[in-house]
Chains A and B, each alone.
Chain A
């Protein structure tokens, strides 16, 4: 029915139109395009465009639902009429272009339909931001005056937007660029954003603790809902609901974007800010619906949030000079600027297709920032998972090495414990067995006045055993303590022989190689030397001591045993055997023994031992 009415042109229109419409010329590289700046318009209720009652008016002419006090769903129609001389048009193929002619419309030239954008008048086209190209057949225009009529029907704002006519190629080119910037590019950007939002949402499902992911996903959903009507061709469901969703989405888009941003940069009081602004948004939604407020209230609140985010973004830009914070901060700061530009454009052109809206590209900024920030994280994660293998291998190697080391230490400990326990057992044996028996035998021998030789043998055996026991004591190479102990043992003998002892030790470093075998050599050297003094020298004083001394370049310890006894002729060697023994032991120790003796002046024996011995 409606279709029928639109399709039948009122033939009287042409006759009534006497005056030509005013034009302005747009110079394009491809050729001439003319734009109507004036036309005749007639508005009517219902879905039938009026055929009379035309009033001259400036072009474009859009009746905004808000300003007219209409309600969504009620049909209104407008017919716009433009007159033009054939001579005013360029030669060659022509094309007509219109934008913001909303929403279902038919174009007629000289009463003949040349284009329609709908199948049924009850279609819900979204033409407010969509450019249309109408290629005109060569003989559509006649010589002299021609009439172009546009009949539009809408359930919301209705009107005839900009109408341009010109050389086909120029119009085609203009149309292409408008279509790209108004429809194609926003579609690409917003669908991409939606896809990423879904991915992020799936991510969040697996990583619930990262709440910013949820808000990032939510913000893409809200912004997609907000911007869908910029680039969609049709309203997919109930007009009122669609409109409410589109407008409210800006409130929650701003809110969720802010939540994502603040959680991402870990701003203080984010919880409170997010909950508080959600409450404000909900209140605004309810009040707007209940009291029938203008939608402008949404934009005002969104702008407030945008300015807040922009402030935080700028501050964080200065605080964190790295890429992700920087990009996000810039995106946040750009949002209100975009919004302000669009608000200015809407005021200037009255929503009739004068400017390309740039807010619709805001999601692109978000997506870009998201790619930088979240993408960087993902990249880091991939890198670290790639590195994980290397790290794991290294850790395993380290652990293995530690294990081997501790096993070695354990093994060594076990050996040391075994040695220690065996050592203890032998000591016990020597003490309670051989030692005790020798002591008892010696005591009995003394008590029964056995021959001196017996006592001496037993006593010698016991002393020898003591020396062995001392050599087994753990002195950690402390040669001073070792010979000190010998002195302590022999103190009684020296005292009994009436020989005074001068103890002349200086502090020396430990000899790392001084194990039990070597300690026994050292003790025997000293015992031999002191025994010589006791038995042969007739000395009254013995000096025993040690000090640090170099031999050539090699550092070491020099010990001495000096007596003031009778001495001997060095070459006679009356004490030869003992001294030869000392000499042999000194060599075994890889040290050096020297002796000086003069008859009547006593004897001096020195034993030099190196700190370090070559292996």
Chain B
């Protein structure tokens, strides 16, 4: 069956002879994509080579990008991994990531499902109530007061609980749920299923793509969240990676003032680059596994009816 399809495709490609205009267009697209690749790859390569720069390196950043790999140094990575603060911050970020994604999905899925039921009484009013704060944000101080009054200051939950339901993500998910054929839900209800059972047994198994996609959206946001952690967490033992990363990036060349570095012999520029790269690794690793759901999930959520 597959063989037949391949043969068919090959036949089509031979049959259609590209015109000069096609060639020009392809050339343009290729050039554009190469340019795009360069724009993305150069800063990435610059960061990677910077992170491997030895302490005795002298030269500018451009020259550093072409430094031979056998002259690279892993001192920055060793220093980071040997630093107790970095490991602790990584753990804290992981707690925020897991807690945040789980909490956000547990709250977003039921809300999106409820909003997707056309017969829900007061559905429109509820939607407005949800969209209103999305458009008119209350601001930092009222949120801070709320978090304080809830007793969440200096608790990890304070980082993700205020943003556990993203209106944007909820609306995407609602659109996805609305796209699931109503007949499936109806038949389950006729068989005596409650709404929770419909959600858990019918909707969720069909919604892996959107759950993974929205989970990824939340995950990236929580993993990178600097501001809420800075605002709500006071204990040093709770500081997540973005806070440490910011501190490392703000370190203004300590060698100007003292003879020491918190990270031993590694140059501070290499430490900065290595910490940026390492903090991105979890997301870099996660993306390929979620990519197949990601494309499907966003597309399915965008088309209704």
Pair from one complex: no
Interface residues of A (CB under 8 A from B): none
